[in-house]
Amino acid sequence: MDDVLQAEEEAILSNVRSRLALFEKDRSRLIPILQMIQETHAYLPAAAFGIVADFLGISECDVYGVATFYNQFRFNPPGRNPIKVCLGTACHVRGGDIILENFERRLEISEGETTRDREFSIERVACVGCCAIAPVAVIGETVHGSMAPSKVESLILRVQLEKEREERSQAKNESTQ
């Protein structure tokens, strides 16, 4: 898996290098640049810091310092189905932490981590703006309201089943071609 990751990172870095040209060489562009990298690649690979630092003429640790200060940036690739569990105030008083624990237990990873097969990752977020249906979890782009610990299992199963179905239909398509 590390080979895959490395090959992926190489591709990301060359893409980053080419897109940096769109930015002004100014310190104030630092956060927008980091946002651009994360938006296109879903995380900030460690090697990107050096490239950005060279481009802006600042130190690498400066770039790293800024990136780690803000909650938005992540430093490892998320899963194909990123799970965000809301721990905003409304979700907290309705037991959001229990939901988070259930996802962690079910997937055997902690918040901030990605499963080995890179299918799922778990993140905690603060208020996704639908407190009225708290507690809330977001899987991919879909918001699931009124979450309960017992729904965790079925949601994960659903994602896995959908994937299997897709793979099957893909295999079918290929065999008919």
With CA atoms as reference, report the closest residue to 51 among 39, 72, 70, 37.
37
Write the CB contacts of 40 (distance below 8 Å, at least 6 apart in sequence).
15, 19
89-128 positions binding other proteins, by CB under 8 A: 89-90, 92-95, 98, 101-102, 105-106, 125-128
Write the CB contacts of 122 (distance below 8 Å, at least 6 apart in sequence).
83, 84, 85, 100, 103, 104, 107, 109, 110, 111, 112, 113
Least distance to other proteins, CB of residue 63, Å? 10
User: Does residue 35 belong to the site contacting other proteins (CB under 8 A)?
Assistant: yes
DSSP state of 78: P
Least distance to other proteins, CB of residue 37, Å? 12
Chosen from ligand FES, other proteins, none, partner binding at 53 (C-beta under 5 to 8 Å by type): none
Binding mask 122-161 for other proteins (x = CB under 8 A): ---xxxxxxxxxx-x------x-x--xxx-xx--------
Handedness of CA 70, 75, 77, 78 (dihedral sign): negative
Least distance to other proteins, CB of residue 135, Å? 11
User: Does residue 54 belong to the site contacting other proteins (CB under 8 A)?
Assistant: no
Q: What stretch of H or E contains 144?
A: strand 142-144
Chosen from ligand FES, other proteins, none, partner binding at 13 (C-beta under 5 to 8 Å by type): none
d(CA 156, CA 106): 9
Site residues (vs other proteins, CB under 8 A): 26-32, 34-35, 65-66, 69-73, 87-90, 92-95, 98, 101-102, 105-106, 125-134, 136, 143, 145, 148-150, 152-153
